Amino acid sequence: MSDFTPVAGLIGGALIGTSAVILLACSGRLAGISNIAHSVVDGLRQGKWMASGWRLTFLLGMILSTWAYFKWSGEVVNPRQHFPAGLLVLGGLLVGYGTSMGNGCTSGHGVCGLGRMSVRSLVATLCFMATGGLTVFVMRHLVQA
């Protein structure tokens, strides 16, 4: 595993957990990214800029912090080459459908829900992990894409 980075993973996980706790403590809201993104899109579509303020700031913070990390660390993103674009689109649509069907995403259930000891979030997270593992197995051993 040439990409194993335990220190970066530990720091990133601690930052994600800390931001989730701060958001919950300061506003009483969960840091479920799919719900935050959906609310921003819905609010902006209805012309409610102020209602989307903290959510938009949260999303921009995620994007800008990622940009800053890659700019200052010198690391580069190496996207997978020669992967069928149709499968990428299908994967994105399935993720969107899954977050809608599961009433949340990995951040909402896995980070915030498990932290609140939610049984529903435990089941959702186990489903996410099992599906992710199955997808990796299929893509690496059966599809060979």
Higher local confidence (pLDDT), 130 or 36: 130
Confidence of residue 64 (pLDDT cuts 50, 70, 90): very high
pTM exceeds cut of 0.85: no
pLDDT tens digits along 11-62: 988 988 898 899 889 988 888 888 888 888 888 788 776 667 888 888 898 8
Whole-Å CA distances, 48 to 12, 45, 88: 32, 8, 32
Delimit the domains of the chain by residue range. Answer: 80-145
Share of the chain above pLDDT 70, in %: 95
